[in-house]
Chains A and B, each alone.
Chain A
């Protein structure tokens, strides 16, 4: 459904939520804005992106989803919703991360495509249509890649280091995986396992689930330019996230390969050192008070612990695989189709964790 031309930004869409017929019309886009951190003015972001969609006759519904503590940030959005703007507001009952908020809201999305926006400026609003077009042309997910030319050099260096490490560890190249501005088909959110901070890596996870993922270079918004240097904690969290993601993408079905490699190396080092100190004991050097003895046994113990963890991982994988398919088919030719069931066009049932606050 595309809106008939007319009605500029800031103009209430009087058809929204009006008649029962209009209520059941399916918008072109569902724009989800998870409100987690200190947001920039959400009403300005809403107006700017709505104007961008209106300019291309795209009918968009906006879903703002937040934790109770962020309720205050939504005052202006609430007022806009009351005035008839296509806005729906959701609140989770407990502390939740961006992934939880997004997943929860996705159950209420009625649009043909889902757009995710962070609660702060990232890209020039008009650029969002590049992503929408890319998905309509066949991609399952289009992710915005900002130029970041105005950022502090240290931040740009961090950005480059992060993505270089990502490419080395995971083997997939992204220019700006964490922009948070994405357009996707609803099935991406239905099928990609998201939790915790995994939202940041959604393009990577979607690609691993064999969805066609494309990055689209867009203009960065001037207010996104970070002239301050990130805190050391940010670097630490990014690297930890990266290692977690690399482990999950490479060793999900073979954890013993990872833990066995690490454990084997530690145990080998420990055994070698132990052999050396025992040999020296036989040659006459006293053994009982040598730190090398403790270090060698410690390495052996750590190695065995790592291998044991790998075995636990294998047990979990063995029972998790169960009868589920661990692959996705691209094509099946000949015979009766026993491939993936076709994607349902219906709107999925919303999860019970979210409470919708209808403000109209």
Chain B
């Protein structure tokens, strides 16, 4: 009995020190044809090591080009989300269909952790004036390995 208890304790200690490597479920538009994102990370228990924040965009015969509008890492202090780091507008691309993932690598976030981003599109110049529209906010919750999309297309 004692040996069993010791064994279980050692197993539990080993389990608690094993890092969990995961990738959040992709957040894509409904087809998808315009955007997708996911986050690859290692859960170290009290914090996560982000390996890559992946995303891609593409235009169709309406949108003329796309870019990363912004991206941010967040950590909750128990009552609110606190900004850890962020990135602004990326380069513009004009690929018609998916042509590969783009990534921002590395970074540590204290748990509970989240990463979110938006992709921006420009439509030019079919109708009365060119305009910008955006993906919803693409939320990736690393504390429970889930994702969701929130908001509408106003940039």
Q: Are chains A and B native binding partners rather than an unrelated pairing? A: no
Which A residues have a C-beta under 8 Å from some C-beta of B?
Answer: none
